Structure 1
Amino acid sequence: MGTGKRGLIAVAVSVIGAVTVLAAPGAAFASVTAPTPTPTSSASASADASTPVTNKDIEAVRKQLDELYHDAAVATDAYNAAEEKARRQSAQIVELARKIVKGQEKLDALKKRAGAAAAAQYRTGGLPDEAQLMLSDSPQQFLDGTGRVLQGQRATKALIAEMTSTQQDLKQYAADASAQWTKLEANRKARAAAQKQIEKQIAAAEKLESQLEEKERERLAELEEQAAYQAQSAWLDSGILDEIKSNASAAGKLAVEYATAQIGKPYEWGAEGPGSYDCSGLTSQAWASAGSPIPRTSQEQWKQLKHVDIKDMRPGDLIIYFDDASHVAMYIGEGAIVHAPRPGRTVTIAGAGSMPILGVVRPDA
């Protein structure tokens, strides 16, 4: 083991612990500078070098990495939510722009009609009724003309009302567009803050892992597998698998086929395929391919989709993990899931009980 390795790990853990975590989506983003670690003396470094790294030390690193990647997942959900809102707002702005163009064209046409009506009234409306009666060829011609004038006046009033309504619509469209631009700008800032937080958490995790020697990284991987195995075993020992007997729906089968076809592709935060995915990018695209679009993020999937009891879940249903709904996977049957785990990993199959389950949702309810 390298000189001062244990001390280096301890310092790394303390520094990483100072990294600010991301609050729930919508909360303010804070930036905290990690304290500069105090350099160790050569004597303490030599003492550290003589002390082997224990499983307890590696387990502490594993838990720290779990926390860092969990925080990155929360930030990724915030980023994806802001991205999705920005897409909708951009589409709304485009639609409002179309309405404004059409409204302006309509208003221009109405103004032209109003100008023509005013000119016609001016040509015939300058003489009193008595003079028009005397100059007309017959009383009937006069009466007919008077009727046309009345009709023209009513038409003019209707024209003015339509112009007023169109002008009000244009004003409202402009106000709505301005409001959408304000929201879009706010979401851009939220997205940028979330991206910064994601990159900070992932960089901290990668730095921590890089400080481990090869044997220590191997031991870390073993501990991760053991933790997942123990959690899955405890879940299966509850007898839950004996209760889960529902078959996949036709759409569920298609979603499972899509998701399992992505096995081996890398995790990438914010990605929706086809070359890489994050956890909710995989599940949302799988169900979109099955003809049932669902929310983009794991938190919105948890909020908006129908909740079902674990014993009633069927292949294609989504399992939401952790109290903050920061991770999602697709149940594929026989107690297994397919999911995009975290940075540095690929889409893979795992045990459904290998992580703390929040609940189950059904996209095709």
Structure 2
Amino acid sequence: MGWGKRSILSAAVTVVCAVTVLGAPGTAFADPAPRPSTSPTPPPGKDLEKVREKLDRLYHDAAVATDAYNAAEEKAKQQSARIDALAGKIEEGQRRLAGLKDRAGAAAREQYRTGGIPPTARFLLSDDPGQVLDGAGLVLQGQRATKTLMGELTSTQKQLRSYAADAADRWKKLDAERRAKAAAKKRIERQISAAEKLQSQLEEKDRERLAELEKQAALKAQTRWLDTGILERIHGKASARGEKAVAFAAAQLGKPYVWGAEGPKSFDCSGLTSQAWAAAGHPIPRTSQEQWKQLKHIGIEDMRPGDLIIYFHDASHVALYIGDGTIIQAPRPGRDVTIAGAGTMPILGVVRPDA
């Protein structure tokens, strides 16, 4: 595999590879050489290949909507955290403002108690001019303190107005993200429902034939990718963190795909990759599109186990490369976290979390 501690994964790969070949998105592997199908020929007029293509489009659209859902959820979390922080600042500012007002009130009461007579008048009226002069100095200090106090009051009030305006803006953004999340959820459910309905209309023999077509399509894509000789140029060794990410992903094999999920019992594609790298001590963006945007791009020939392969032109799918031309991925609804061929889907590029 070209990476150090391979014991965690090697057993799983050995068992799977003993009976299968690098396979379709959502199916572990396909046979090394496709055997003639024993399934009955599809009924006249029923084009299962077109059904397969339509299912691919529906699940792809669901993946795009899932990424939008995850992005909106992440932004909503950030906005909520910011609102909580602002609420704390507002509360602290209100306490400070109340204290300043108490001080200002005390100063006003003191001025009222002394009658508010200017120092000059008190000097002329007093039997002890020296005492008045001493008092005049204190009055001047009091005037400066009052000026400072009023400045603090004004500054605190301005700060509170700024915090309140910021909080109101954050609430608007939070509401927008929640609406975006709800809209994405509807799109996901609509696409998945359409896919499930399409498959439910097939007879059992046609569903078996459809599964065979999926395997064949994946095998064809993987073979075409391997025929480029790409594996002969890939010799990267996993980093220490990359090994941890691979080990985490391998431990999730067999867990179901659930859109929007990031563990521990289920995952979507970017939920799996983001949690794998979080477990490796290196947090990365939540969605496949942000992983593509923010992480360092590297050439396919330079990739190593632990790197992320981004798929499709819109970066709507991501998987963790584990070596020997294979990936661990959470494929799509109805499938489990599995090992598949790295070339079974159109590769957009490769990113390295710990570059």
Using the size of structure 2 for normalisation, the TM-score is: 0.85
Tell me: CA distance 1:144–1:132, structure 2 relative to 1, closer, same or farther (3 Å).
same
2: CA distance, partners of 1:250 / 1:158: 57
The one-letter amino acid of 1:359's match is: G
Answer with 129-138 or 355-364: which moved more. 129-138
Deviations 1:272-301, CA, capped at 9 Å, x for gaps:
111110000100111111111111110111
> Secondary structure in 2 aligned to 1:350?
strand
Structure 2: how far apart are the matches of 1:128 and 1:283? Answer: 76
| 1:60/1:297 CA distance change after superposition, 3 Å | same
Q: 2:205 aligns with which of 215, 224, 246?
A: 215
Could you tell me how far apart the structure 2 residues matched to 1:230 and 1:101 are? 63
Whether contact under 8 Å (1:136, 1:142) holds in the other structure is no
Q: Give the SS at the match of 1:206.
A: helix
Superposed displacement of residue 127, structure 1: 4.8
Cα distance change of structure 1 residues 136 and 278 upon mapping to structure 2, 3 Å threshold: farther
Residue 85 of structure 1 pairs with residue 38 of structure 2: no
2:159 is equivalent to residue 172 of structure 1: no
1:252 pairs with 2:242: yes
2:321 counterpart SS class:
strand
Structure 2 match to 1:324: 314
Once the two structures are superposed, residues 59-84 of structure 1 have per-residue CA deviations (whole angstroms, 9 ceiling, x without a partner) of: 11111100000000001011111111
Of all paired residues, the percent bearing the same amino acid is: 70
Q: Does the 8 Å contact 1:133/1:142 carry over to 2? A: no
Answer whether contact 1:258 1:289 (CA < 8 A) is retained.
yes
Moved over 4 A (4+): none
Aligned pair 1:295/2:289, yes or no?
no
Give the secondary-structure state (helix, strand or coil) at the position aligned to 1:320: strand
Query: What is the aligned-residue RMSD (CA, Å)?
Result: 1.6
Output the CA distance in 2 between the equivalents of 1:153 and 1:59: 88
SS, match of residue 289 in structure 2: helix
Gaps of 5+ in 1: 1-50
* More deviation, 164-173/129-138: 129-138
Contact 2:42 2:48 in 1 (8 A): no
What are the within-5 Å matches in structure 2 for residues 13-24 of structure 1? Answer: none
Matched residue, 2:265: 275
Q: Match of 2:126? A: 135
Equivalences for residues 23-34 of structure 1 within 5 A? none
SS class of match (1:196): helix
Residue 341 of structure 2 aligns with which residue? 351
CA distance in 1, matches of 2:65, 2:269: 13
Contact preservation (8 Å) 2:52, 2:214: yes
Q: Partner of 2:276 in structure 1?
A: 286
1:138 positional shift: 5.2
Aligned residues: 314
SS at match of 1:292: coil
Q: Distance in 1 between matches of 2:265 and 2:148?
A: 59
Q: Please say if residues 79 and 190 of structure 1, whose CA atoms lie closer than 8 Å, have aligned partners that are also in contact.
A: yes
Unaligned stretches of 5+ residues in structure 2: 1-40
Q: Secondary structure at the match of 1:303?
A: helix
Write the mapping of 1:181-200 to structure 2, written as runs, cut at 5 A: 181-200=171-190
Greater relative contact order (Cα < 8 A, sep 6+): 2
Between the aligned partners of 1:104 and 1:84, the Cα distance in structure 2 is: 30
Contact 2:122 2:132 survives alignment (8 Å): no
- Out of 231, 237, 245, the position equivalent to 2:227 is 237
